[in-house]
Structure 1
Amino acid sequence: MQALPVPSATATTQASPDDRASGFSAVEGGPETRSGTVLLVEAYAAIWLILFGFIWLTFRKQRALNARIDDLETALRKVRKESP
């Protein structure tokens, strides 16, 4: 087996903890693509749409359930009248 060459300590440059920046420096980046207020309004709109959809579905299910209960009560009254 052949041993791998070990780099010398002088060949590599290592930064000491003192060489690193200790403060915050802002980095220039691209401009924001979306406004925060637009995102907030969109989030509120989405929440309200989901809420109204949930209420509408609940209302439909309740209306169908009430119709089914009315049908069962009518059938029960009919059976009670026919039985001796």
Structure 2
Amino acid sequence: MTELDGNSLAGDLAEIFARDMTAARFTCGGCRHTGAVATLRVWTPAPGVVARCPRCGDVLLRLVHTGGSVLLTLGTTRLEVPR
């Protein structure tokens, strides 16, 4: 096993995020419901977008556009992507 830094993820992440993500499937951590991202219940216009599980209402995704970044929170993990 070889330890690498996060730069080694560049190709894999580009492959995942460079497409229509509404067809991607989610699994809710609360109720274990699965479905397409397109079926999430989305709430706006908060400081960003909040997407909730259509079955139990748990927050699954938060997306906030700031001046220089896009902040994506999936569950308890936040990913900040520079613009």
**TM-score of the pair, normalised by structure 1:** 0.18
Q: By percentage of residues, which structure has more strand?
A: 2
Higher helix share: 1
Q: Which structure's CA Rg is the greater one?
A: 1
TM-score by length of 2: 0.18
